Chain A
Amino acid sequence: GAVVSQHPSWVICKSGTSVKIECRSLDFQATTMFWYRQFPKQSLMLMATSNEGSKATYEQGVEKDKFLINHASLTLSTLTVTSAHPEDSSFYICSVPGTSDYNEQFFGPGTRLTVL
């Protein structure tokens, strides 16, 4: 399966600043990546589908101007949380779908964002 990394693993920022999170597919070219958000002790919520070379597809209720996604290459997708506020504090996780079964996803280790 695909090996997926995320950077940084954790970040603390001040309210009002922007934070960029990287998701890399290390051994697999991914035209599609997914971004999830996980609240403490809760499930994963799909935020958006990142598409290489085109605009991301956002889930209902997710602000596209707040959470900017750029899928610049087949191995890199970035999520930028703009003008972060404390309520944006969360665990952000990306994933890459497999090739043999597109529903099987390979997840990055996640990024813990804390906004002060």
Chain B
Amino acid sequence: GNSVTQMEGPVTLSEEAFLTINCTYTATGYPSLFWYVQYPGEGLQLLLKATKADDKGSNKGFEATYRKETTSFHLEKGSVQVSDSAVYFCAPGGSNYKLTFGKGTLLTVNP
């Protein structure tokens, strides 16, 4: 089955700092790749996705590029805000619609 290695947190940044959360995966074939975000007290929401190699997913200033050669899907944002404080999960898709989630990275952004 698929597996995910995600940068462990917690990550604490000041507002407007640059963010990178690393994610590498192992999977059969070339699955769709996802980043989900869980804000405090809320359910998971899709942040962005990429469906094929070299695709770049983007949303709310976040970006991640599907790197087939390195089996990676690192999440980046140029300038984080306090409202970005949340837990971020990397997840490759799989057979039978099953997602495999990374352990999650807690991001705290201080004003």
Contact = CB atoms under 8 A, between A and B. Distances in A.
- Chains A and B bind each other: yes
Interface of A: 1, 4, 32, 34, 41-44, 46, 49, 93, 95, 97, 101-110
Interface size class of B (residues with CB under 8 A): 20 to 34
Interface stretch (B13-21, B63-71, B73-81, B93-101): B93-101
Most buried by A among B44, B98, B103, B104: B44
Contact of B89 (A43, A46, A104): A43
Most buried by B among A43, A49, A97: A43
A102 B97 contact: yes
Contacts of B32: 101, 103-104
Contact of A103 (B99, B101, B106): B99
A109 B43 contact: yes
A4 to B, nearest CB: 8
Contacts of A46: 98-99
Contacts of B31: 103
Given A41-B106, A44-B89, A104 B101 contact: no
Given A46-B98, A103-B34, A107-B36, 16 more contacts: A1-B46, A4-B43, A34-B97, A41-B104, A42-B104, A43-B101, A43-B104, A44-B44, A103-B32, A103-B94, A103-B97, A104-B32, A104-B34, A105-B97, A107-B44, A109-B43
A116 to B, nearest CB: 22
Nearest to B102: A43
